């Protein structure tokens, strides 16, 4: 069974195991759990070669806590020489000539990539069912979805195929699958992690982050991923703390804001029960609960479904069949080539969002939709600013339900979109948030979402870490692995 | 009916940055296709634009030079449309919030100086090029130009004739080269122009429906394209027709404009702020730096040349047409030590003619400013006649050495010595008694004959003024 990164680092340092053994184990488990469909690409040869290199470096005295640790990257991160599909037919054979900054930084920290994880097409989905490569199955119940869009990463960590994986989160794509798969996933503040080489869905919302068993592991991973990148004009030029070193602080006096609107109708009773119990645990740890309100959060989903598709409609215009990626085999002329390439290369959910976004930006509708949504976005961010005058972190559900059945919602986009009702406002406000395992409902994991002030990842991770020191929800593993 | 023409111009000036506006790829012209484009220019998945600070400084320099508001905050927007040479499927431009607004440019017209308003100037990226030749029926895409920085300069509809439009363009062309922000090469497309043209009955204050003429790549074509379009519109309106708002293409071979697309067929560009690029903020420090580095502008230089060197407005205008020419002139004046008007005559006369003949610009002059000054000095001190000096200049151009060397080698030194000239004149008079009698009988025109004979006898070296004076004296009865 795959231990945490913290444990792996100890074992590697003490010589109790080698990176090569860890990677071989991971590859074997990935193969054994192939039916989960968590991976789009596995690269055993490169992984073994990198593991051997990590072992040699360690013997030579080099290497930090992540050196030699096997990880997986969501297939949205460009990897030099390794196929990067973004879950789409459009890029099914695309091999980038460059690494995403996140990939390069993880490599520099010594992580060994074993493969690329499955995902909703272009990160558009909350169930991993929009992937061109088929849905990922939830390790806790294989007839259920793992959440999305980082469903492959979440399932891979939950099934202990790898100790950690990267994800991206535009409206909840790290936190919701983390919740549905019972792992810990952090979406950092917008600008904290470089977006260079991360295939864009909605540029003003996309953010990369770590997915792992524990907050402590996420802390190690975030320290490696974060930081200014001159190739991303939206990345922040502020120092990156050693997040793991900041863990273990007492929670006495911590004010946890309980969002009134998040403990309401529409959330499954079992989820609410688990979360209330988690809040009692926090009280036992010395925290104080404060009632807060985010009145404009109710508008977050419609606001998001104007802004994100608007940006996506433009971001995805480059997939035109001209320079790389899929091109329809038969066409009459240029316009026909465009139409057939994009009709055949994109799946229905991606096309739906391109159409919504194109509509929202079109002449005569721009003010009514796009501009209005921008105003709402400001109001939603203001709500958070107000709430944070009363508390230090906010707590609530990461998802209104536990993992739902495959096929249950994929014919009803609106009900699918509402899955992200609690995560979307956070992206709109650019804040950091994480989901951590907080219990079970009907045998399925429940995720507690903690939201922090801008750039307050250190506090968020500490608050999650203290909970994980007091509970063992994060250590539970699905049966049948 | 009398008609009034109304013209506004949109100029795309390629900025002279070393690298592209949003990527580190080089901008040099003429390289093999796709060798100057990187993954950012080719819009690979996941890549991001990062703004080139030099392009921003150049835009600010332009804004200050035309007395415009240089905004402390401006916003990049995406202009969305599909075309194979537009890799991202959108062009990054500035839309609602350009970096420069409300400037002015003073132009010289037949009726004197005129102020043309500059509505705005904004930064944007150029597209690539589609190649149709030698590809066996396929279309190729060259992305070398994709991402080259452009400053789009939009004028107010302040021009009233094709001639004014050309004057505006030339003034702007001079200015951007002075500012060293654009090489102005129209053949290579570094300075391109679209013209918005409409006509209205004289006295009408509302604007007529306009046509936008694209693809005009020389000053001459601007004039012809506008003239054609004005005639077309007047003919249309006079015969009871209406002008359609549309984009037209100028065909220089057939000298006509053709409809490209109507307003109804125009793209909906779906502009929105580019989320990959933060608001562009200009600091006071940066603006101060740009201000401090501002060169002397053509207008100021022209006025100074008039005041300092006593030149005519016309000569000052010619000499300040480019920074390089103005520098050549001032270097020559300095080296000559005096005679600024004489230097001006040589620069705008012989030198300009020779450059024009050889198809060179001032950078290619084969006679340096210092060498020209040497020749001017010899003209001024009477060593050579103005006529002989032209031969000396030709020899210098041909590489035969400096003025003194050529004068010595060719024996072109002017004879100014009175007694030497008198000696020649006496011989000429003695040899032509018939003409002497005619002159003394009052046939004034015979005087010219004696001048010619004297010059011939001195092999052109006699100082003409002295020849005149001495002839008058000795021919007198």
What is the residue extent of each domain of chain A? 5-254+432-475
Strand order in the sheet with B272-273: B90-94, B76-80, B272-273
Contacts across the A-B interface (CB distance below 8 Å): 99
Question: What pTM was estimated for this model as a whole?
Answer: 0.91
Same domain, B391 and B277: no
Residue contact A230–B50, C-beta within 8 A: yes
3-state DSSP assignment of residue B377:
helix
Predicted pLDDT of residue B27: 92
Q: What are A389-418's pLDDT values in tens digits? A: 999 999 999 999 999 999 998 788 888 888
Find which of A90, A168, A231 to mutate to test the B interface (most B CBs within 10 Å of its CB).
A231
Residues B164 and B238 in one domain: yes
Query: And the tokens for B145?
Result: 């130009």
Question: Which residues form the domain of B108?
Answer: 3-289
Chain B contact present for A98, CB below 8 A: yes
Query: Cis omega before residue A7 (within 30°)?
Result: no
Cβ–Cβ under 8 Å, residues B280 and B51: yes
Place of tokens 């968020």: A460
Task: Mark yes or no for CB contact B80/A317 under 8 Å.
Answer: yes
Specify whether B57 is located in the same domain as B118: yes
The C-alpha angle A65, A70, A76, rounded to 5 degrees, equals 110
Predicted local distance difference test score (pLDDT) of residue A1: 62
CA A358 to chain centre: 26
Q: Quick one: B246 and B310 in the same domain?
A: no
* B46–A200 CB contact, under 8 Å: yes
Query: What number of helices (H) and strands (E) belong to chain B?
Result: 16, 16
Q: Among B289, B317, B343, where does a domain finish?
A: B289
Residues B110 and B258 in one domain: yes
Q: Are B272 and B303 in the same domain?
A: no
- DSSP string computed for A415-458: HHHGGGTTTHHHHHHT--EEEEEEEEETTEEEEEEEEESTT-HH
Q: Would the pLDDT of A200 be above 70?
A: yes
Q: What is the mean pLDDT of residues A99-126?
A: 97
Q: Which residues fall within 8 angstroms of residue B465, CB to CB, at 6 or more apart?
A: none
Neighbours of A456 (CB within 10 A): 18
Predicted local distance difference test score (pLDDT) of residue B71: 98
Domain boundary among B377, B410, B443: B410
The whole-angstrom separation of Cα B8 and Cα B160 is 9
Q: Are residues B31 and B153 in the same domain?
A: yes
What's residue B444's pLDDT?
85
- Is pLDDT of A256 > 90? yes
Give chain A's mean pLDDT: 96
Q: Which of residues 222-281 of A touch B (CB under 8 A)?
A: 230-234
The topology under which CATH files domain A5-254+432-475 is: Amidase signature (AS) enzymes (3.90.1300)
Of B135, B128, B103, B131, whose CA–CA distance to B117 is shortest? B103
| Whether residue A293 lies in the annotated active site | no
Strands A70-74 and A164-168: parallel
* Residue where a domain terminates, one of B221, B256, B289: B289
DSSP 8-state secondary structure symbol assigned to residue A95? -
pLDDT in the model for residue A345: 98
At A120-149, the pLDDT tens digits run 999 999 999 999 999 999 999 999 999 999
Using the Cβ of A356 and the Cβ atoms of chain B, whether some distance falls under 8 Å is answered with no
> Are residues B300 and B259 part of one domain?
no
Is B43 within 8 Å of A323 when comparing Cβ atoms?
yes
> Is the domain of B202 the same as that of B340?
no
* Tens-binned pLDDT, residue by residue, of chain B (477 aa): 899 999 999 999 999 999 999 999 999 888 999 999 999 999 999 999 999 999 999 999 999 999 999 999 999 999 999 999 999 999 999 999 999 999 999 998 888 899 999 999 999 999 999 998 778 888 899 999 999 999 999 999 999 999 999 999 999 999 999 999 999 999 899 999 999 999 999 999 999 999 999 978 899 999 999 999 999 999 999 999 999 999 999 988 888 888 988 777 778 999 999 999 999 999 999 999 999 999 999 989 999 999 999 999 899 999 998 899 999 999 999 999 888 999 999 999 999 999 999 999 899 999 999 999 999 999 888 888 888 889 999 999 999 999 889 888 888 787 777 888 888 888 889 898 898 888 888 888 889 898 888 888 887 778 888 888 888 888 887
Contact B277 A78 (CB under 8 A): no
3-state secondary structure of B399: coil
Paired residues of B5 in beta bridges:
B199
* Contact between chains at A358 and B270 (C-beta distance less than 8 A): yes
- Model ipTM? 0.96
* CA distance to partner chain B, nearest, from residue A291 (Å): 34
Task: Report the chain B residue with the minimal C-alpha distance to residue A100.
Answer: B46
Alpha carbons B369 and B358: distance in angstroms, whole number:
18
pLDDT at B396: 95
- Residue B101 pairs with which residues in a beta bridge? B69, B120
| pLDDT of amino acid B443 | 87
Q: How many helices (H) and strands (E) does chain A have?
A: 15, 11
A173 is catalytic: yes
Nearest to B270 among A77, A232, A362 (CB): A362
Please check whether residues B78 and B196 belong to one and the same domain. yes
Residue B324 sits in the same domain as residue B244: no
Q: Are B352 and B456 contained in the same domain? A: no
Domain total of chain B: 3
Q: Give the CATH number for residue B458.
A: 1.10.10.410
Is A88 noted as a catalytic residue in this protein? no
pLDDT attached to residue B411: 80
Q: How big is chain B by its Cα radius of gyration, in Å?
A: 30
């Amino acid at each position: 069974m795959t231990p945490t990164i913290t444990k792996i680092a100890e074992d590697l340092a003490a010589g109790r195991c080698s990176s090569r053994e860890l990677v071989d184990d991971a590859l074997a488990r990935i193969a054994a759990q192939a039916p989960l469909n968590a991976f789009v690409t596995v690269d055993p040869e490169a992984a073994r070669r990198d593991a051997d290199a990590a072992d040699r470096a360690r013997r030579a005295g080099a290497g930090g806590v992540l050196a030699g640790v096997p990880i997986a990257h969501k297939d949205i991160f460009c990897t030099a020489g390794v196929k990067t599909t973004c879950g789409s037919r459009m890029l099914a054979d695309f091999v980038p000539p460059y690494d995403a900054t996140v990939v390069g930084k993880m490599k520099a920290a010594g992580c060994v990539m074993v493969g690329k994880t499955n995902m909703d097409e272009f990160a558009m989905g909350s169930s991993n069912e929009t992937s061109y490569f088929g849905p990922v199955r939830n390790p806790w119940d294989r007839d259920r979805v793992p959440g999305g869009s980082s469903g492959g990463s979440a399932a891979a960590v939950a099934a202990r195929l790898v100790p950690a994986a990267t994800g991206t989160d535009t409206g909840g794509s790290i936190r919701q699958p983390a919740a549905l798969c019972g792992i810990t996933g952090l979406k950092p503040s917008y600008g904290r992690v470089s977006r260079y080489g991360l295939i864009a869905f909605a540029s003003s919302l996309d953010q990369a982050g770590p997915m792992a068993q524990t907050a402590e592991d996420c802390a190690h991973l975030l320290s490696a991923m974060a930081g200014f990148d001159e190739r991303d004009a939206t990345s922040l030029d502020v120092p990156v703390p050693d997040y793991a070193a900041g863990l273990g602080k007492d929670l006495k006096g911590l004010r946890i804001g309980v969002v009134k609107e998040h403990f309401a109708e529409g959330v499954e009773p079992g989820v609410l029960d688990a979360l209330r119990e988690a809040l009692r645990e926090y009280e036992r740890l010395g925290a104080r609960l404060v009632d807060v309100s985010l009145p404009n959060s109710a508008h977050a989903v419609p606001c998001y479904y104007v802004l994100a598709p608007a940006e996506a409609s433009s971001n995805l215009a480059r997939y035109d069949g001209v320079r790389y990626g899929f091109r329809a085999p038969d066409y009459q002329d240029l316009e026909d080539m465009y139409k057939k390439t994009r009709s055949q290369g994109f799946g229905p959910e991606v096309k739906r969002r391109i159409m919504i976004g194109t509509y929202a930006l079109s002449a005569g509708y721009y003010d009514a939709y796009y501009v209005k949504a921008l105003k709402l976005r400001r109001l939603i961010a203001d709500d958070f600013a107000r709430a944070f005058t009363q508390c230090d972190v906010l707590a609530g559900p990461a998802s209104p339900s536990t993992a739902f059945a495959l096929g249950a919602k994929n014919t009803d986009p609106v009900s699918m979109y509402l899955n992200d009702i609690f995560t979307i406002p956070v992206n709109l406000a650019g804040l950091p948030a994480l989901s951590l395992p907080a219990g079970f409902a009907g045998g399925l994991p429940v995720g507690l979402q903690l939201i922090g002030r801008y750039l307050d990842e250190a506090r968020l991770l500490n608050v999650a870490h203290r909970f994980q020191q007091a509970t063992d929800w994060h250590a539970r593993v699905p049966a049948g692995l | 009916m009398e008609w009034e023409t109304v013209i506004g111009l949109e100029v795309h000036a390629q900025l002279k940055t070393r690298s592209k506006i949003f990527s580190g790829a080089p901008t040099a012209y003429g390289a093999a296709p796709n060798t100057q484009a990187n993954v950012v220019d080719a819009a690979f998945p996941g890549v991001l634009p990062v703004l080139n600070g030099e392009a921003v400084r150049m835009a600010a320099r332009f804004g200050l030079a035309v007395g415009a508001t240089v905004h402390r905050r401006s916003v990049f927007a995406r202009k969305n449309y599909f075309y194979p040479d537009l890799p991202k499927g959108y062009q990054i431009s500035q839309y609602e919030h350009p970096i420069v607004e409300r400037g002015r440019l003073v132009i010289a017209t037949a009726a004197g100086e005129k102020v043309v308003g500059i509505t705005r100037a904004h930064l944007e990226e150029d597209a690539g090029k589609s190649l149709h030749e030698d590809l066996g029926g396929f279309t190729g895409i060259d992305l070398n130009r994709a991402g080259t920085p452009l400053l789009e300069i939009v004028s107010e509809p302040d021009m009233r004739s094709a001639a004014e439009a050309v004057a505006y363009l030339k003034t702007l062309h001079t200015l951007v080269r002075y500012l060293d922000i654009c090489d102005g090469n129209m053949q290579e497309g570094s300075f391109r122009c679209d013209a918005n043209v409409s006509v209205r009955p004289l006295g009408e204050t509302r604007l007529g429906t306009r046509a936008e003429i694209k693809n005009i790549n020389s000053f001459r074509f601007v004039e012809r394209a506008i003239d054609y379009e004005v005639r077309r519109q007047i003919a249309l309106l006079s015969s009871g027709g209406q002008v359609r708002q549309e984009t037209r293409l100028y065909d220089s071979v057939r000298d006509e404009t053709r409809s490209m697309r109507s307003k109804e067929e125009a793209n909906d560009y779906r502009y929105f702020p580019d989320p990959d690029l933060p608001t562009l903020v200009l600091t006071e420090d940066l603006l101060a730096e740009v201000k401090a580095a501002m060169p002397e502008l053509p207008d100021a230089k022209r006025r100074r040349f008039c005041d300092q060197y006593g030149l005519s407005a016309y000569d000052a205008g010619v000499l300040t047409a480019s920074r390089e020419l103005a520098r050549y002139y001032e270097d020559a004046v300095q080296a000559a030590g005096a005679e600024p008007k004489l230097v001006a005559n040589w620069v705008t006369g012989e030198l300009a003619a020779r450059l024009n003949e050889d198809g060179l610009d001032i950078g290619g002059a084969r006679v340096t400013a210092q060498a020209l000054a040497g020749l001017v000095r010899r003209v001024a001190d009477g060593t050579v006649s103005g006529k002989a000096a032209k031969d000396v200049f030709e020899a210098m151009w041909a590489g035969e050495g400096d003025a003194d060397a050529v004068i010595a080698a060719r024996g072109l030194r002017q004879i100014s010595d009175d007694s030497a000239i008198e000696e020649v004149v006496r011989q000429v008079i003695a040899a032509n008694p018939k003409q002497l009698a005619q002159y003394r009988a009052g046939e004034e025109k015979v005087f010219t004959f004696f001048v010619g004979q004297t010059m011939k006898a001195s092999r052109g070296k006699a100082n003409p003024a002295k020849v005149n004076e001495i002839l008058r004296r000795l021919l007198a009865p």
